[in-house]
Each structure stands twice: as structure tokens, then as C-alpha cells.
Structure 1
């Protein structure tokens, strides 16, 4: 089975990269059972013997492995700060985008990313293809987690009306499994910097472009 793997290039220094991008124009009640007390009435006796409900244990998260796909993956929640139109808001939003992407890698569900990305985002479309291929039929993906190391934005509006943020991250090698076992292993990305461009749409952020910075 053919797999599409996203490749990324070496990391640059945040200040240098961002300067280059901007210059270039890139876009339960208990009771007392003490002695000597009067005997409880039938209704009281019945109530006192009612068992206390046992809390239902929460589902335990299980990462994907050769034995099967991930189970009970926690749903990432966008922080309130990531909804604010500010430098800090954009940086928090960029972090959340990658958390949403990680959820897709573990579950095959790219809905979270689609909800905050423009249909015209080419890199987003490639991400959807990778996840779709990884979960086709009875297949699943493992060890594709992205770890965000840092996010920086100068919060300057580009001529195209976009705000930019640089995201520095590393990603584990992607492993693709099927009923026959391990099928494909991608190359790990030790360090990557991507330029995330976003706009404000209906008082929310939306990613319109993601580009890997190349050296």
C-alpha cells in the first residue's frame, strides 16, 4: 500500500527565520448509629441500606501500537486564549492546530483540523490525505506524534491580510499498520520549523497556509 509521508527540513533560528519571512513579504449522606437511639422507621431503615452509587471509572487512554490502533484518545480542547485576536492568541491557536493534527494521527478523525483550516490550505489537504491513507480499510497509524517545541509571532499583518507564526516542532517516525502487521515506516523529523499563516474569520482564527521553512 502506498503511503504519502510529509517531509520536513532542518530547523532555523526563530528570529532569523521570521525576519527573513517578513522582509520577503511571505505570506453522596451518612447517618449517626450511636447506641440508645430510637429504632429507625421503616422508611429510614430502607434509606440507610440503599447502596452508594459507585463512580464509573473513566476510560483509559491506550496509544497505538503493533497490537492495534489508539483507544480512548483525549479530545483536545481549544483554550480560550486561542480565540483572542492578539499575539498570544495566535501563538496559542497555532499550538492547538498541531494538537488537533495529533488527534487525527491517532484516531483517523481530521474534523478538528478541518474546522479551523481553510479549504484552500494545500498543506492541510496533504495532511488529510496522509491520515486517510493511514486509516484506510482496517489500517491504523502509530508513533506519528508532533511535539511543539516553541511558537513565535511578531503579530504583523501581511499585505495579503494574514498573520504569521513560526512553529518549531519535532515529529516521531510514522508507522503504518494493517491486519498483516507493520507495513510502512516513515522517517522521523528531528526538528522542523513551519510558517503558519492565519486570518480572522467570524471572530475566530483560521489557518490558510502552512509552509515548511527550507534552508
Structure 2
């Protein structure tokens, strides 16, 4: 997955995989002592971004990233009350929020919200967050980066180790890295129709925590 690069090296040369958490190998679920996240800001999530700025925008209107510059006026993710319920619907609402928080990070370079809902035991997740931080610190940016995860199970059952592991499918719009006005890295959109995988989730103190995504033996064909 994503690794650090040497100082001065082009960022796109060293990105070895997509910046999508569901691509992470499974970590050790275990217990995590990370603090539960506070409720983020009050704006609603924006629609999936595109690569052009389009017509002139008002001063506070969301403008997607393009070759000309990073996204502007990106609304902060907002966690709905349902995303704090220990239920199948609550877990899905939480994953929807996680998706919004990850997209916000890719759009802005601000990884605060997604870090608050992801377990520190997912080392590769945090490597990805560090990559995003450094990309924007070097005046580069991303186009796209939206990923949606849909739980496929009809019920939510806690495993014997105390962790929930609902089988899910993920769709990604893809992502592009822009450096100095040109695309230096690109991950194509994908639809994981034949690639179900379990997502490890913990629920404690009235809140969900994303732990990791694992591979499922015998599957893996991306559509």
C-alpha cells in the first residue's frame, strides 16, 4: 500500500495503490483506546466531485478540484444520529459518514474527521492519512476520491471476538493526483460487484469505530 517518499521525490511516482481504505489488508481487530469522535460541523455532504470547475461559482459554492486548483468550499461531513445506533441501519449510516469523511480528506487535505472514526490499529489507514497530509502540504491535491460501501448482510451479528464484521461491497469513483498542474497518478473507478469483503467495526460507548477491511477467500474479481 501507500508508503512514504523521500524528500524531493515526485509524489505520483511513489503512490503504489489507491487511497481507499477498503483496499487495506486486515489488521488486528483488538481493542482500541482511541477517543470517540465529537460531532463535526453542520454542512451537508456535497455531491460526488468531477474534474472540471464548470460555470462560475458563487463565493461560498462548492467547486470541485481540477487541474487548475484544489476543491474549494468543501462542506464538512456531518454524522447523523442514526450513525450512532448499534444496529444494521446504524452501521450503514456510520459507513456513509466514514465515506464522507474520507472524501472530505481527499478533497481538502484535512484528515481530522476520518482519523476520529478509524482505529489506530489500522496502520495502513493512517499511512494513507499521512500521505494525504503530505500531498497538500506540498501544494499538490486530489481530484475525486469518493468511495461508497454498502453492507450486504441482512442482520448485524457481533463476532465471538466482540467485533462486528458485516460483508460489504464497495464502489469507487477513482482518484487523480495533481502536481504542478498535471496528473502524476491516477486510480481508475471500480465496482466491486464480485468482490465482497468483511469490514471490521467496533461499537463502544454509543459510537462506532472503523477497524479495517479484510479479504474474503475465494473472491476478488473487480468489475
User: Is the pair's TM-score, using the shorter chain for normalization, greater than 0.5?
Assistant: yes
Aligned equivalents of 1:190 and 1:7: distance in 2?
15
Aligned equivalents of 2:169 and 2:96: distance in 1?
10
Equivalent residues of 1:3, 1:133 under 8 A apart: no
The CA RMSD over aligned residues, in Å, is 2.5
Find the structure with the greater CA-based Rg: 1
Q: 1:104 to 1:213 in 2, by over 3 A?
A: farther
1:204: which partner in 2?
207
1:34: which partner in 2?
none
- Offset at 1:7? 8.1
The TM-score normalised by the length of structure 2 is: 0.66
Secondary structure, counterpart of 1:90 in structure 2:
helix
Q: Which blocks of at least 5 consecutive residues in structure 2 are unaligned?
A: 1-9, 21-28, 31-57
Kindly report which structure 2 residues correspond to 1:10-29, keeping only aligned pairs within 5 A, or say none. Answer: none
1:138: which partner in 2?
139
The TM-score normalised by the length of structure 1 is: 0.68
- Offset at 1:187? 3.3
1:6: which partner in 2?
18
Q: Which blocks of at least 5 consecutive residues in structure 1 are unaligned?
A: 9-25, 28-56
More helix by share: 1
Equivalent residues of 1:84, 1:90 under 8 A apart: yes
Aligned equivalents of 2:71 and 2:141: distance in 1?
8
The runs of 4+ residues in structure 1 deviating greater than 6 Å are none
Give the aligned length: 168
Aligned equivalents of 1:66 and 1:87: distance in 2?
40
> Is 1:152 paired with 2:152?
yes
Equivalent residues of 1:4, 1:130 under 8 A apart: no
> Is 1:175 paired with 2:176?
yes
Give CA-to-partner distance per residue, 1:71-90, whole Å, 9 cap, x none: 01111211110101122111
Equivalent residues of 2:62, 2:72 under 8 A apart: yes
